[in-house]
Every structure is written in structure tokens, then in C-alpha cells.
Amino acid sequence: MSGVHHAQPDGPESRSSARTSGAISLHELYRIDEAMRRLGWQNAAYRAALRRGLQVLNSGKRRYVTGEEIFRFLKADSLRRLSA
């Protein structure tokens, strides 16, 4: 047996890092839960985005969004808010 022990993080740091935002690539397809995690969105923010025009892809019970659609939506939403 090796004397090396790799601790599994289970403190508050690991839980908060699981909720941190991440990068979005134009060329990737994301499951909705992954896109929400990367954007730092909760369910209410996702539902609001759908009402404001975010287009998602459905396949069976799963929903997906492209990185390109996320950028399109965020840009359009930003412009709409600036002109309001």
C-alpha cells in the first residue's frame, strides 16, 4: 500500500466551488443544468430567460442549449435592457 493519501474535499469550499460560474464556448452544446451552473442561474432565472426568448433544444426529456444561443440571448437581452 502506498503511504499517499488523497483527501476528498467535502467542506464548504467544495460545495461552493460546485456552484461557481464557468466559461461558455460558442461551439459547445450544453445540458440545461450545466448551462445554468456555468451562468450562475437558479431555476427562476432560467424560466425568465425562456420567457425573454432563450431557445432550447429538446430531445426526449432532456433539454439543451448551444453556446451560440447563450451568447445571442445575452447580447439581445443586454441591448433590450439598455434601450428600455
Q: Check pLDDT > 80 for residue 11.
A: no
18-72, pLDDT tens digit by residue?
555 789 999 999 999 999 999 999 999 999 999 999 999 999 999 999 999 999 9
Domain boundaries, the chain: 21-83
Residues 25 and 68: beta-carbon distance below 8 Å: no
Q: What φ, ψ does residue 80 adopt, rounded to 5°?
A: -60, -45
The whole-number pLDDT of residue 39 equals 96
Contact (Cβ atoms closer than 8 angstroms) between residue 30 and residue 65: yes
Burial class (CB in 10 A: 0-12, 13-18, 19+), 56: middle
Q: What is the mean pLDDT of residues 4-29?
A: 63
Tell me the pLDDT band of 83, cut-offs 50, 70 and 90.
Answer: confident
Q: How far is CA 51 from CA 19, 21, 44, 46, in A?
A: 24, 22, 11, 9
What is residue 3's DSSP assignment? S
What is the pTM assigned to this prediction?
0.72
